[in-house]
């Protein structure tokens, strides 16, 4: 798809707006998992999540090819939309972002603050995406998909930073939403010639990629009711799945209860705030703790954009399943 020189160039583009994020080895996490652990802190970007890297590279390449593009449009649960709004504003391109009704209030506010026109439509991400595609056709706007090679090239820059600082990782846990993050990790690992095992992570409440990985073909689901909105996908991308099938060893499913516990652990052991998808890799590593002894483990803390009310409700004394029942 791309070579190392192109990935290095993408890193330069990203670096104009986003400094390299830290990769820390936290001793309390090492004690908890019983092995060496490195956390890649994509919660420290200007938008609070890794997606900003993809938006910056996508918009740069779009503007080079179409200098007169009238505007972009896309759908999101939050981080993809913030990424595009942030990048579009740097290029002077109008951005329209669709979100489902009931989406994160704070992510919606952030997208508007970055300059996007925000439209709420439908009950889930898929409905919002379909409406955005319809509007793109009649309004003449450029539709930015949730998965695209240029997005993957951009987000692969976080994996380039991580692997350059920790080339001896034995296993890397990566959350899966629409797939750009894990595909970026696979790209960077392969271009650098490393042998790190890459493991995808999904919620049991939104397991479309896990089911697709097991079936080795796209499996759509009827719902994606996880509180971890960054992984709330019910229609996998076929191109992303093909890359994951070739480059990942497996996809682990974690419950919302396990994710909530991982959010608490990241707060207590590292004093970092993680959204659900950002905590899912730790949840998976804790689930597989017995098999990790003696290995050096990498965790992608993909973002920290969790609403305060959800954080307080989700990591409080009540289990997420109980909270969902009364929500």
Residues 236 and 205: beta-carbon distance below 8 Å? no
Residue 253 sits at the vertex; the CA angle it makes with 249 and 255, to the nearest 5 degrees, is 160
Q: Where are the domains of the chain?
A: 4-50+149-326, 51-143
pLDDT at 303 over 60: yes
Residue 285 sits at the vertex; the CA angle it makes with 215 and 171, to the nearest 5 degrees, is 75
Helix (H, G, I), strand (E, B) or coil at 29: helix
* 82-97 pLDDT tens trace: 999 999 999 999 999 9
Report how far apart, in Å, the C-alpha atoms of 83 and of each of 25, 65, 122, 287, 293 are: 27, 20, 21, 31, 37
Sequence-ordered list of residues with C-beta below 8 angstroms from that of 230, at least 6 positions apart, any chain: 49, 77, 78, 79, 175, 177, 275, 276, 277, 278, 302, 303
Give 115's DSSP letter.
T
More confident residue, 280 or 322: 280
**Three-state SS letters, 131-145:** HHHHHHHHHCCEECC
pTM of the complete model: 0.93
* 8-43 pLDDT tens trace: 999 999 999 999 999 999 999 999 999 999 999 999
- Asked if 4-50+149-326 and 51-143 have one fold, the answer is yes
**Quick one: pLDDT at residue 226?**
87
**Quick one: pLDDT at residue 210?**
96
Give 93's DSSP letter.
-
The candidate with the shortest Cα–Cα distance to 121, out of 107, 132, 109, 133, is: 132
Alpha helices in 248-306 (DSSP H): 256-270, 276-287
CATH number of 51-143: 3.40.50.1100
Strand partners, 117: 96
**296-301 vs 171-175, strand pairing mode:** parallel
Q: Is domain 4-50+149-326 in CATH 3.20.20.80, yes or no?
A: no
* 208: its two tokens: 């479309």
Residues 114 and 74: beta-carbon distance below 8 Å? no
């Amino acid at each position: 798809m791309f070579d190392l020189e192109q990935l290095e160039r993408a890193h330069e583009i990203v670096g104009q707006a986003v400094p390299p994020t830290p990769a820390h080895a936290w001793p309390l996490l090492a004690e908890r998992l019983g092995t060496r652990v490195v956390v890649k802190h994509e919660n420290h970007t200007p938008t609070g999540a890794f997606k900003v890297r993809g938006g910056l590279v996508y918009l740069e390449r779009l503007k080079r090819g179409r200098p007169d593009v009238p505007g972009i449009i896309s759908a999101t649960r939050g981080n993809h939309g913030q990424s595009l709004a942030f990048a579009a504003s740097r290029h002077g391109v109008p951005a329209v972002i669709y979100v489902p009704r009931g989406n994160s209030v704070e992510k919606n506010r952030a997208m508007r603050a970055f300059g996007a026109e925000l439209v709420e439509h439908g009950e889930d991400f898929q409905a919002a995406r379909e409406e955005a595609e319809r509007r793109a056709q009649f309004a003449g706007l450029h539709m930015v998909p949730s998965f695209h090679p240029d997005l993957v090239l951009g987000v692969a820059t976080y994996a380039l930073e991580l692997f350059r600082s920790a080339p001896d990782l034995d296993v890397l846990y990566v959350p899966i939403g629409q797939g750009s993050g894990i595909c970026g990790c696979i790209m960077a690992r392969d271009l650098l010639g490393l042998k790190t095992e890459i493991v995808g992570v999904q919620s049991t409440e939104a397991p479309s990629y896990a089911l697709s990985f097991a079936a080795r073909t796209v499996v759509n689901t009827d719902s994606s009711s996880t509180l971890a909105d960054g992984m709330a996908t019910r229609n996998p991308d076929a191109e992303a799945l093909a890359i994951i099938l070739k480059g990942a060893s497996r996809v682990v499913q974690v419950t919302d209860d396990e994710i909530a516990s991982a959010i608490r652990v990241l707060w207590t052991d590292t004093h970092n705030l993680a959204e659900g998808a950002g905590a899912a890799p730790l949840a998976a590593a804790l689930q597989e703790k017995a098999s990790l002894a003696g290995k050096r483990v990498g965790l992608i803390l993909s973002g920290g954009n969790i609403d305060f009310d959800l954080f307080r409700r989700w990591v409080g004394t009540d289990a997420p399943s109980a909270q969902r029942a009364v929500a």
